[in-house]
Protein backbone atom coordinates (compact mmCIF):
# COMPACT_ATOMS: atom_id res chain seq x y z
CA UNK A 1 0.00 0.00 0.00
CA UNK A 2 2.85 2.39 0.77
CA UNK A 3 4.28 1.79 -2.69
CA UNK A 4 0.93 2.59 -4.33
CA UNK A 5 0.64 5.81 -2.31
CA UNK A 6 4.16 6.79 -3.40
CA UNK A 7 3.34 5.99 -7.03
CA UNK A 8 0.14 8.06 -6.82
CA UNK A 9 2.03 11.04 -5.35
CA UNK A 10 4.73 10.80 -8.02
CA UNK A 11 2.11 10.63 -10.79
CA UNK A 12 0.30 13.64 -9.33
CA UNK A 13 3.56 15.61 -9.06
CA UNK A 14 4.37 14.92 -12.72
CA UNK A 15 0.79 15.82 -13.66
CA UNK A 16 1.10 19.11 -11.76
CA UNK A 17 4.33 19.90 -13.60
CA UNK A 18 2.71 19.09 -16.95
CA UNK A 19 -0.22 21.35 -16.06
CA UNK A 20 2.06 24.27 -15.21
CA UNK A 21 4.07 23.70 -18.38
CA UNK A 22 0.85 23.54 -20.38
CA UNK A 23 -0.25 26.87 -18.90
CA UNK A 24 3.09 28.45 -19.85
CA UNK A 25 3.03 27.24 -23.46
CA UNK A 26 -0.66 28.10 -23.88
CA UNK A 27 0.11 31.65 -22.74
CA UNK A 28 3.05 31.85 -25.16
CA UNK A 29 0.86 30.54 -27.98
CA UNK A 30 -1.80 33.11 -27.20
CA UNK A 31 0.71 35.96 -27.04
CA UNK A 32 2.55 35.01 -30.25
CA UNK A 33 -0.47 34.05 -32.35
CA UNK A 34 -0.90 36.26 -35.41
CA UNK A 35 2.53 37.89 -35.32
CA UNK A 36 4.14 36.98 -38.65
CA UNK A 37 7.68 37.25 -37.30
CA UNK A 38 6.82 34.74 -34.53
CA UNK A 39 5.07 32.17 -36.74
CA UNK A 40 7.50 29.33 -36.03
CA UNK A 41 7.50 30.01 -32.29
CA UNK A 42 3.71 30.05 -31.93
CA UNK A 43 3.37 26.84 -33.94
CA UNK A 44 5.92 25.15 -31.68
CA UNK A 45 4.20 26.61 -28.62
CA UNK A 46 0.87 25.21 -29.79
CA UNK A 47 2.40 21.74 -30.18
CA UNK A 48 4.07 21.92 -26.76
CA UNK A 49 0.87 23.15 -25.10
CA UNK A 50 -1.12 20.31 -26.66
CA UNK A 51 1.50 17.71 -25.69
CA UNK A 52 1.59 18.89 -22.08
CA UNK A 53 -2.21 18.98 -21.85
CA UNK A 54 -2.51 15.39 -23.04
CA UNK A 55 0.35 14.34 -20.76
CA UNK A 56 -1.43 15.98 -17.84
CA UNK A 57 -4.69 14.19 -18.63
CA UNK A 58 -2.96 10.81 -19.01
CA UNK A 59 -1.07 11.22 -15.74
CA UNK A 60 -4.23 12.31 -13.93
CA UNK A 61 -6.10 9.28 -15.26
CA UNK A 62 -3.27 7.00 -14.12
CA UNK A 63 -3.20 8.57 -10.65
CA UNK A 64 -6.99 8.21 -10.32
CA UNK A 65 -6.60 4.53 -11.15
CA UNK A 66 -3.87 4.08 -8.52
CA UNK A 67 -5.86 5.96 -5.86
CA UNK A 68 -8.91 3.85 -6.78
CA UNK A 69 -6.95 0.69 -5.91
CA UNK A 70 -5.87 2.15 -2.56
CA UNK A 71 -9.37 3.03 -1.33
CA UNK A 72 -11.35 0.31 0.45
CA UNK A 73 -14.23 -1.33 -1.37
CA UNK A 74 -17.79 -0.73 -0.21
CA UNK A 75 -20.51 -3.31 0.14
CA UNK A 76 -22.84 -3.24 -2.79
CA UNK A 77 -23.24 -4.60 -6.25
CA UNK A 78 -22.41 -3.34 -9.69
CA UNK A 79 -22.26 0.41 -10.09
CA UNK A 80 -22.88 1.16 -6.38
CA UNK A 81 -19.82 -0.85 -5.40
CA UNK A 82 -17.35 1.12 -7.52
CA UNK A 83 -18.90 4.57 -8.00
CA UNK A 84 -18.09 5.98 -4.52
CA UNK A 85 -14.48 4.79 -4.79
CA UNK A 86 -14.12 6.33 -8.24
CA UNK A 87 -15.64 9.65 -7.18
CA UNK A 88 -13.49 9.83 -4.04
CA UNK A 89 -10.39 8.85 -6.02
CA UNK A 90 -11.16 11.58 -8.55
CA UNK A 91 -11.66 14.21 -5.83
CA UNK A 92 -8.50 13.20 -3.96
CA UNK A 93 -6.45 13.27 -7.16
CA UNK A 94 -7.75 16.65 -8.33
CA UNK A 95 -7.24 18.24 -4.90
CA UNK A 96 -3.76 16.76 -4.40
CA UNK A 97 -2.64 17.72 -7.92
CA UNK A 98 -3.88 21.27 -7.37
CA UNK A 99 -1.92 21.51 -4.11
CA UNK A 100 1.19 20.08 -5.75
CA UNK A 101 0.84 22.54 -8.66
CA UNK A 102 0.56 25.41 -6.20
CA UNK A 103 3.63 24.24 -4.26
CA UNK A 104 5.55 23.62 -7.47
CA UNK A 105 4.72 27.09 -8.80
CA UNK A 106 6.02 28.64 -5.59
CA UNK A 107 9.23 26.62 -5.83
CA UNK A 108 9.72 27.50 -9.50
CA UNK A 109 9.16 31.21 -8.83
CA UNK A 110 11.71 31.13 -6.04
CA UNK A 111 14.39 29.62 -8.28
CA UNK A 112 14.16 32.27 -11.00
Give the tens place of pLDDT for each residue, 42-71: 889 999 999 999 999 999 999 999 999 998
Give the tens place of pLDDT for each residue, 59-102: 999 999 999 999 888 777 777 788 888 999 999 999 999 999 99
The residue segments making up the domain with residue 57 are 2-107
User: What do you get for the CA distance between the two ends of the chain, in Å?
Assistant: 37
| 83 assigned to some structural domain | yes
Q: Which helix (H) or strand (E) holds 35?
A: none
| 9 assigned to some structural domain | yes
pLDDT value at residue 112 = 60
**How many domains does the structure of the chain reveal?**
1
Amino acid sequence: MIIRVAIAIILMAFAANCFLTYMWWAACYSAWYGIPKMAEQWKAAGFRASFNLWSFLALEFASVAVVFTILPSSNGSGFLKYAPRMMLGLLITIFATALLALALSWVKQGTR
